[in-house]
Every structure is written in C-alpha cells, then in structure tokens.
Amino acid sequence: MRKIVKSSLSIIFALLLTFSYLFNPLTVHAKQATTIQELKEQLADLQAQKAKQASAKAQTQSEIRAQKSNIYKAYQEKETISNEVEEAKNKITESEEKIEKASKDIDNMLKYYQLNENGNNYMDYISDASSVTEVIMRMKAVEQITTYYDNKIATLKNLITEKQNLQVELGNKNNELNTKIDAYSDALSELNDQMELIDEISEDIDTQIKAQQDTIKYYQSVCDSETQKLSTCTKDPQSFGWLKPLVKGRVSSLFGYRSFDNNFHSGVDIAGNAEGTPEYAAAAGRVAQVTNRSSCGGNVVYLHVTVNGKRYTLIYAHMLEIKVKLHQVVTTDTVIGTVGGYSTSTHYSKSGYDRCAYGAHLHFGVANGWYHVDYSSWNQLTAHLINPPGFPAKGVWWYKR
C-alpha cells in the first residue's frame, strides 16, 4: 500500500510540475511582451531558468551518486556480515567437535588409569601406591588430567556462547542495514523521479527558448524598431464568425472546474474522431506558437485570430502531427494538425511523452486577447480563458463545422 501511495503521489507531483502549457507554468510575469525589447527580456528570463535547471540537475546527480554509494557500501557491509556469520557457524561447529573429542579423550584417559568412580578401581589405583608420596602424586595426576579437560571443555563452551551471541548481534546489524538500504533505495527512487522532472522541465525550457528566439527573429523582420508595438507590425486576416475545429465530434469534457480530477480544465475536449483526423483553424489568423512533444499536452499549436474585430488566442493540444509552422498565416480551411491523444498508442508508446492524454481527442481552448505563448505571459492567457463558443452540450454529436 505504501508503494502504491508513493507512486500515486509521484505521478501527481510530476503532473503538477510538467503541465508545461495546459495547466502550470514555470514562472509567471504580470506583463505581456508588447515589443521586441520585452521579448528579449523574457528570453533572458528563460535562459536564466535554464541555468537554474542545469544547477539543479548537477545537484541532483551528485545526490544520486551519494545514495548509490550508500547502497553499495551497505551491501558490502552485508557481505562482510555474511562472511562473519559463516565464520561464527564454523567456529561453533569446530568447538562442538572439539568438546566431543575432549570428552572422549578424558573417558579414554580415565579408563586407561582404570579410574572409574563407580567402581573400586580408583581407590585401588590410589591405594596401590608404595608410599604416601606416591599416593599424593597419583591423586594430583588424576586431578590434573580431569582439570585440564574440564577447563578445555569450559573454554570451548564459552567460545560457542560467544559465537552464538555474535550471530545474534550480526543478525541485528544485518536487519539495520536492510532498513538503511530500503531508505537509501526510496531516496534514490525519489531522486530519479526528480531528475526525470528536471529533464522534462529543461526540455520544455529549451523549447520555449527556441520559440522565443524564432518569435524575436520574426518580429525583427516585420517591425521597424525594437520599441514598436508588436500589434502594429503585422496585418493578419480576420473572421466574422466561429467554425468548429473538427468536421464532426462531441464534447467529452467541458471547460471549467472538473470534480473528478479536482482541476480547472482550460478548454473543451473533443472526442469521437480517430487518430490522424484533420483539425482546422476555427478562425483566420496566424500561428503564434508551435510546441513539440510537451510532457503534458504533447504537440501543441497556438493561433492568434481575429473574430468580429476582437482578438483571441486558440489552443490546440494532444496533436498527433502538426501541419503548420510558426507565424504562418492560416484560414478556416487550413489544416492545423491531426488528432492525437493516446498516451499508450503505437504513436506515443515509444516515447511516452504526453502523459496527460487518455484516448484520441483534441483539447481546444480559447482566450480573449493575443498572447505570445511563453511562460512569461501564461497568467495573462489563463486569466482570459473563456468557454469555447459554438459547441453543443456535452455528449451531443455534430456533423458540420
């Protein structure tokens, strides 16, 4: 049960840290970038985050090495204990054999001198002496023989007791080492989970940095200066109504708070389509962000669109394939990508990168306003999320965009 709880907590912790685009950003800034200069400032922030992650990775690697060393040393101690226990058993066996031999020796010696206390041989042996001096000598000889073997047997018995106590002591120490090994192993497992999260976050940051650099490069090509408002640098197409992103489907999960996972769902999930089904732009605009292989969300595309004169940011997540490029102009006939979502399908099982998707579907989100989708503007986007317009009730099918 403890392992199950630990595993569940690790999964929850991992999801909280790696919902890179759909739920939980690394950092949050109150201000959205409106100029190239501000985009560069955000890029510097991302690069600083990357450096911090590199430092955290180095520290975690050091701790992993330390725990592995602790486990190795503990197993070495266990091996030493095993050898000592075996040696103690051999000593006990050897001492028992010596006691048995000593008992036989003393019996044989007494028989040799015919010193059977149950008979008269002992007294005959003593009284057969020719003088008082010889009597004393014979008595002392018998006493010395019996005392020698008695002491020898007592010494061997003490040695057996000592080795038996040593076995108990070594057994207790072995149990203590087993407890330590379990603790070291648990710590190592947590550190490995932590390393996995750091790698995922670092990969997300690298994606952010690349996207930010591409965004800066694009606006440098269309803006007159680094202080010009980004919104004035381009003239994008607009729509006068909403279309659905899929020709058919049904809403399987609504926008808003969900009790089953105690989470806020940032869009609607559209099911009823097989993997590879084309997904379209719900309105005309431009590709604002392309994210590949996010740990939670998989392949994600963000669009800046204008509908009835108002700006929106659209979110397409859990895509099998992305069919557009960053800053590409799109119309409602443009195929943005294809439906994905199976975290255990043949398309995902080899990498297992999108662990927030279960079953083929499109996660479709809408926010009021345009946002250059990076961690620095995430709070602005999430604060302006709306229920995507134009969808029927949950579970109701549609067959027309």
| CA separation for the pair 384, 377 (Å, rounded) | 11
| Tally of CA atoms within 13 A in the half-sphere of 249 that contains its CB | 26
The CATH 2.70.70.10 domain(s) of the chain lie at 2-34+229-398
> Which pLDDT value is given to residue 102?
81
Burial class (CB in 10 A: 0-12, 13-18, 19+), 333: exposed
> Which pLDDT value is given to residue 14?
40
* pLDDT under 50: residue ranges of the chain: 1-30, 116-117, 119, 343-351
Q: Which has the closest alpha carbon to 109: 140, 142, 137? A: 142
CATH topology of domain 2-34+229-398: Glucose Permease (Domain IIA) (2.70.70)
DSSP string for 159-227: HHHHHHHHHHHHHHHHHHHHHHHHHHHHHHHHHHHHHHHHHHHHHHHHHHHHHHHHHHHHHHHH-SSTT
Helix, strand or coil for residue 333?
Answer: coil
Q: Which two tokens stand for residue 199?
A: 């790698």
> Which pLDDT value is given to residue 295?
64
CA distances to 17, 308, 339, 353 from 26, rounded to whole Å, are 8, 34, 27, 18
Beta bridge partners of 340: 361
pTM of the model: 0.56
Cβ–Cβ < 8 Å for 329, 283: no
> Which pLDDT value is given to residue 347?
45
Q: Which has the closest alpha carbon to 401: 238, 275, 242, 267? A: 242
Cβ–Cβ < 8 Å for 151, 143: no
> Which pLDDT value is given to residue 225?
93
Q: Which two tokens stand for residue 166?
A: 């040593």
Contacts of residue 245, Cβ cutoff 8 Å, sequence gap at least 6:
270, 279, 280, 281, 282, 316, 336, 362, 364
> Which pLDDT value is given to residue 127?
61
Answer positive or negative: Cα dihedral of 13, 19, 20, 25.
negative
Angle at 241 between CA 34 and CA 378, to 5 degrees: 30
Q: Which two tokens stand for residue 374?
A: 């990076």
> Which pLDDT value is given to residue 138?
63
Q: Which two tokens stand for residue 130?
A: 């020719």
| Tally of CA atoms within 13 A in the half-sphere of 9 that contains its CB | 9
Q: Which has the closest alpha carbon to 39: 198, 203, 233? A: 233
Q: Which two tokens stand for residue 4?
A: 């199950």
Strand ranges inside 237-323, DSSP E: 249-253, 256-258, 263-265, 268-271, 278-280, 285-294, 298-307, 310-322
Q: Which residue has the tokens 């799109």?
A: 330
Q: 49-227 belongs to which CATH class?
A: mainly alpha
Q: Which two tokens stand for residue 238?
A: 């607009």
